[in-house]
Structure 1
Amino acid sequence: MSDHEYRSDARSHWSQQISRWVRLACQREVQSPKPGNVSPGYDFADATVADFLASADAIAVVMAMASERSLGTTILDCVEATRRVVGHNTNLGIILLIAPLATVPVGQSLTDGIGTVLNAATVDDSVAAYEAIRRTQPAGLGEVKDQDLLQAPTQNLVECMRLAADRDLIAAQYANGFQQVLGNGLKWLAEAQQAIESSSLQITWLAVRFLAEFGDSLIARKCGPLMSDLVQKKAQELLRSGWPQRSDSSADLADLDAFLRADGNRRNPGTTADFIAAVIFAGLRDGRIV
């Protein structure tokens, strides 16, 4: 085999791995019973487990080539691929979080490579990402004075995201080097793996841990920051109660779940679910999950 053929074969294998990890991350996220989210037995009127699984298959194909394409192109193409199979927004947050991670090339850890990916982002990436966001019409987005989504962006994608970082935890990842995914998230995942035997319950705990630390950006946008703060407090109380180790603590989790599902699922912690998918992808990609 020539050097060219070897490199081509290696790229193909890496692309297949990225695609597999993206699909697995999205599947494990939606198939785990996280409080307030779409999960088996808990479809929403406008979003089902089947929708999320179809979306996972769609973006996995696009993400496979992320390291050889621009970040903005990957984001926009993932949104378009999703729209072709489900016709509505199931995964914009997941796309925005996983696309930069999937772009880190083979041979580099995510921690070492994510900065290079973000620093390479351009105004063209902003244009593509803005178009992707507009096409999904996510809930609760207001207008801002600088780099508003309804205007043509004039700054690179990291700078545009930095302007929203104080009100959106996904945007903050572009500004802080994915600290909550690669720092907090992977640390908490390791803690869950050590303390909890069930892999599904590990994901449930991870979601509650994120809520307890950060609240939820989607809840804040849809219901106001005070509601996000209340959800954060309830998650903190659940962790202090001794769940999941305490044998009679499942009712405490059920109470949080019921609260989040009330009011027509308006309190759905969708941003938290997006982070869970990203952390699982990072764990798979860097060998922390098998």
Structure 2
Amino acid sequence: MTALAPARIRSFYRAACLAELDALKPGNVHAFAAGHRMVVADFITSADVSAPALAQAGAGVGARVHGGVAATMAAAGQNTNLGILLLCAPLAVAAEGGASVSAVLGSLDSTDAEAVYAAIRLANPGGLGRAGKHDVAAAAPTSLMSAMAEAADRDRIARAFVNGFADVTEIGLPALHAARSQGLDPAWCTTAVHLAYLRWVPDSHIARKAGADVADSVRREAEAALAGLDLAAKPVERLLALDTTLKARGLNPGTSADFTVATLFWDALATAGARLA
């Protein structure tokens, strides 16, 4: 397997974060519209300051997540990228070490758990609530994977740690490749990825803040609203209509956006020679 230099990993990560912002992503923050008391500039800053930690040479998954969150909170003053960092850190470690993502996930230890728990407490993501086991307010468990398995049924990012990033390989990457095969512009390819996640799985961020039933209703609403959509026609007005109604209800499909970044990052690393699968 090809091992990638940290400088390239850093560049790919930042590019993925910025590309996601250029795409029209209904309900989320993007270049076409702000939302949820956040603007694109907040996420650009977050990408810039978190990239060095995410690509820190020799660092483990937990250290990269915590370093990225700490830099982001110091510069942006709010949680804009915890989910992105949780998804991208294992990919960065795998790419640097010439390993598969599954191998990296299998090597996580108590140090990773402590750092990730500290990062989550620092970011204080909305709607986190309390858990009966492995609650982030308590001491970190010995096994980060055990904690992720406990949360996997209610959080897609936690589930990614358990199922080897199946959502990326089974939803995100196929959507990206299909969009490219249709000749779509890069930004519209990114929109296609986001819409794939939005339409196919209930968004965890919405579920945490508004409940699982609301998250599934948003998925069904998006599926109905976007039926027959031709992204080649650049349907800005139709997507902005969905964007407006989601934001008016305070519904932010942030997990779908996080997975969109991870999909772009995975694709860039793989194109450069990393064999992540």
Q: TM-score, normalised by structure 1?
A: 0.87
SS in 2 for 1:47: coil
Q: Which of these residues, 48, 51, 58, is aligned with residue 42 of structure 2?
A: 51
Q: Which sections of structure 2, spanning at least 5 residues, go unmatched?
A: none
How far has the Cα of 1:42 moved from its partner?
Answer: 1.8
1:70 aligns with 2:55: no
Q: Which of these residues, 168, 171, 180, is aligned with residue 155 of structure 2?
A: 168
Q: Which of these residues, 99, 112, 115, is aligned with residue 125 of structure 1?
A: 112
Aligned position for 2:247:
261
How far has the Cα of 1:225 moved from its partner?
Answer: 1.4
Aligned position for 1:91:
81
When residues 15 and 160 of structure 1 are mapped into structure 2, their CA distance, relative to the original with a 3 A threshold, is same
When residues 92 and 106 of structure 1 are mapped into structure 2, their CA distance, relative to the original with a 3 A threshold, is closer
Q: Which of these residues, 67, 71, 81, is aligned with residue 81 of structure 1?
A: 71
When residues 257 and 288 of structure 1 are mapped into structure 2, their CA distance, relative to the original with a 3 A threshold, is farther
Q: TM-score, normalised by structure 2?
A: 0.91
SS in 1 for 2:222: helix
1:117-142 alpha-carbon deviations (Å, 9 max, x no partner): 11110122111101100111101111
Say if 2:171 and 2:196, in contact at 8 Å, map to a contact too: no
Q: Which has the higher contact order (CA 8 A, sep 6+)?
A: 2
- 2:145 & 2:154 partners in 1: Cα distance? 15
**Equivalent pairs: percent with the same residue?**
35
Say if 2:24 and 2:32, in contact at 8 Å, map to a contact too: no
How far has the Cα of 1:107 moved from its partner?
Answer: 7.1
* Aligned-CA RMSD value: 2.2
- Which one is further off, 192-201 or 266-275? 192-201
Q: Which sections of structure 1, spanning at least 5 residues, go unmatched?
A: 1-9
1:179-231 alpha-carbon deviations (Å, 9 max, x no partner): 11133211111011112422111111211111111021111111111211111
Say if 1:121 and 1:157, in contact at 8 Å, map to a contact too: yes
What is the letter of the counterpart of residue 179 of structure 2? A
- Which one is further off, 251-260 or 204-213? 251-260
Aligned position for 2:93:
103
Matches within 5 A, 1:1-290: 14-44=5-35, 46-65=37-56, 68-106=58-96, 108=98, 113-245=100-232, 250-263=236-249, 266-287=250-271
- Which one is further off, 182-191 or 129-138? 182-191
- 1:237 & 1:205 partners in 2: Cα distance? 16
How far has the Cα of 1:57 moved from its partner?
Answer: 0.8
Aligned length: 272
